């Protein structure tokens, strides 16, 4: 199926990630429809429709999605935007993809929209989506596992304003507590953070990480895999950057707008005495979200899906094949 010229609404097109998604859609031959809450911030590009739509205005959201083949929601906090944009997508009869990293917002989406007739893929981003694809690939033919650990080796983390706002929303929703997935459920707790040593694949090697650093993989992975324990950890340098109020936003290091920040994501699955691993490396956690989200849309529109309703990346797609399609943006070792 030739998707050239197919319109795809980008809700949150004015944001940092939304601009990367818009550029990647154009590079793939699709036509972005630029939508968002603030008309004054929406970019103006020759030949592209601009459709402002407040999240609490269903009629405006319907207009923003009218005629589109799909919608990619890049507008956080997703606790506020996911539900209304999904409802608009269902009214329009088109698939929905978002880039939410908010644990609670993603859990809401899985709970509310399971079994719907259209594909709904939350967390189709660096956090939540990439880890889930790696874990699913590592699982391979295992029907279950004892434990999953996804370790993030970012060399730095310069958060966007949207990242900070979404983090504050999640922090308030969980009453300032931390969260982990243990015993087959999310558990909120007040345990102090711990520093552990994690050995990433070469050339990164051993690095200090903050153990049980809450990430969206705590929701995406157990949404479809039989794993009672899911742990995530973050390199201490990146965790400190995120915690510091004066850490600046990302700065472009090339003409595409990508920063120089690099990452390695290491997913390990444990069953008894055995373990399996899949890892990914790349550059700029925000820019790399664009090929993840756009690849998801192209696969949905060409019928390369495994289910409908709310489903994570690993449940919706052939995980290993999806990861292979991300080259050269992401290098995968499994």
Tell me, what's the pLDDT at 334? 87
Cis-peptide, bond into residue 31, ω within 30° of zero = no
Same domain, 149 and 184: yes
Same domain, 203 and 292: no
Q: How does residue 304 score in pLDDT terms, banded at 50, 70 and 90?
A: very high
319, part of any domain: yes
182, part of any domain: yes
Mean pLDDT of 274-280: 98
Tell me, what's the pLDDT at 46? 87
In 10 A of CB 132, how many CB atoms?
31
Same domain, 212 and 301: no
237, part of any domain: yes
Q: Does position 169 have pLDDT exceeding 80, yes or no?
A: yes
- Of the candidates 13, 332, 284, 285, the residue with the CA atom closest to the CA atom of residue 127: 285
Tell me, what's the pLDDT at 200? 97
Beta strands in 106-245 (DSSP E): 119-121, 147-152, 178-182, 185-189, 194-199, 206-211, 230-235
Domain count within the chain? 2
Same domain, 254 and 204: yes
Same domain, 152 and 95: no
243, part of any domain: yes
Tell me, what's the pLDDT at 45? 85
Mean pLDDT of 126-148: 98
Same domain, 306 and 187: no
In this structure, what token pair is assigned to residue 247? 């850490």
d(CA 156, CA 165): 19
Identify the CATH number of the domain in which residue 89 sits. 3.40.50.720
Same domain, 174 and 226: yes
Give the dihedral of Cα atoms 238, 243, 244, 248; nearest 10 deg: 60
d(CA 124, CA 186): 20
* Domain residue limits at 83: 7-126+288-333
Same domain, 256 and 328: no
Please give the backbone phi and psi of residue 146, each rounded to the nearest 5 degrees, phi first: -80, -35
Chain CA centroid to CA 299, Å: 16
d(CA 285, CA 62): 31
131, part of any domain: no
Q: How does residue 43 score in pLDDT terms, banded at 50, 70 and 90?
A: confident
Given 258, 283, 308, the domain boundary residue is 283
- Of the candidates 41, 43, 36, the residue with the CA atom closest to the CA atom of residue 12: 36
Given 267, 283, 299, the domain boundary residue is 283
In this structure, what token pair is assigned to residue 124? 């189709």
Mean pLDDT of 103-115: 97
**CA-based torsion, 28, 30, 35, 39: positive or negative:** positive
Same domain, 279 and 143: yes
Q: Does position 232 have pLDDT exceeding 90, yes or no?
A: yes
The pTM (predicted TM-score) of the whole model is 0.97
Q: How does residue 18 score in pLDDT terms, banded at 50, 70 and 90?
A: very high
pLDDT tens per residue across span 63-97: 999 999 999 999 999 999 999 999 999 999 999 99
Identify the CATH number of the domain in which residue 162 sits. 3.30.360
Continuous segment of H or E residues that includes residue 88: helix 78-92
Per DSSP, 290 falls in state: H
Judging by beta carbons within 10 Å of its beta carbon (0-12, 13-18, 19+), is residue 191 exposed, middle or buried?
exposed
Q: Which pairing describes strands 147-152 and 230-235: parallel, antiparallel, or unpaired?
A: parallel
Q: How does residue 292 score in pLDDT terms, banded at 50, 70 and 90?
A: very high
Tell me, what's the pLDDT at 208? 98
Judging by beta carbons within 10 Å of its beta carbon (0-12, 13-18, 19+), is residue 168 exposed, middle or buried?
exposed
132, part of any domain: no
Q: How does residue 44 score in pLDDT terms, banded at 50, 70 and 90?
A: confident
Mean pLDDT of 273-299: 98
2, part of any domain: no
- Whether 265 contacts 233, CB under 8 Å: no
- Whether 39 contacts 30, CB under 8 Å: no
Tell me, what's the pLDDT at 187? 95
Same domain, 143 and 269: yes
The alpha-carbon radius of gyration of the chain (Å, integer) is 19
210, part of any domain: yes
Same domain, 250 and 187: yes
Q: How does residue 2 score in pLDDT terms, banded at 50, 70 and 90?
A: confident
Q: Does position 1 have pLDDT exceeding 80, yes or no?
A: no
Residues 6+ apart with CB under 8 A from 194: 210, 211, 212
Q: How does residue 221 score in pLDDT terms, banded at 50, 70 and 90?
A: very high
Same domain, 53 and 36: yes
Q: Does position 192 have pLDDT exceeding 80, yes or no?
A: yes
In this structure, what token pair is assigned to residue 285? 């956690």
In this structure, what token pair is assigned to residue 150? 């996804």
């Amino acid at each position: 199926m030739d998707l050239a010229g197919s319109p795809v609404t980008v809700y949150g097109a004015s944001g940092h990630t939304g601009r990367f998604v818009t550029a990647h859609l154009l590079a793939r031959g699709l036509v972005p429809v630029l939508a968002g809450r603030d008309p004054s911030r929406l970019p103006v590009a020759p030949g592209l429709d601009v459709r402002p739509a407040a999240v609490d205005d269903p009629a405006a959201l319907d207009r923003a999605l009218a005629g589109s083949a799909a919608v990619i929601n890049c507008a956080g906090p997703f606790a506020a935007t996911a539900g209304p944009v999904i409802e608009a997508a269902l009214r329009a009869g088109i698939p929905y993809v978002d880039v939410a990293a908010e644990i609670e917002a993603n859990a809401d989406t899985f709970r509310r929209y399971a079994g719907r007739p259209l594909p709904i893929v939350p967390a189709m981003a660096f956090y939540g989506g990439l880890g889930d694809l790696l874990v699913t690939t590592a699982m391979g033919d295992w029907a279950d596992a004892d434990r999953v650990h996804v370790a993030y080796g970012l060399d730095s983390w310069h958060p966007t304003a949207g990242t900070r706002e979404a983090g504050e929303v999640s922090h308030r929703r969980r009453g300032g507590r931390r969260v982990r997935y243990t015993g087959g459920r999310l558990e909120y707790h007040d345990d102090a953070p711990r520093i552990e040593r994690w050995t990433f694949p070469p050339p990164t090697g051993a690095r200090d990480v903050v153990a049980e650093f809450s990430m969206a993989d705590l929701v995406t992975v157990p949404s479809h895999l039989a794993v009672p324990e899911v742990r995530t950890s973050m390199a201490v340098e990146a965790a400190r950057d995120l915690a510091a109020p004066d850490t600046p936003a990302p700065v472009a290091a090339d003409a595409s707008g990508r920063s120089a920040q690099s990452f390695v994501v290491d997913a390990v699955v444990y069953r008894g005495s055995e373990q399996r691993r899949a890892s990914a490396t790349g550059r700029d956690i925000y820019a790399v979200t664009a090929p993840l989200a756009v690849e998801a849309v192209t696969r949905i529109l060409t019928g390369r899906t495994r289910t409908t309703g709310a489903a994570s990346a690993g449940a919706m797609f052939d995980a290993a094949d999806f990861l292979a399609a991300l080259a050269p943006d992401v290098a995968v070792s499994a």
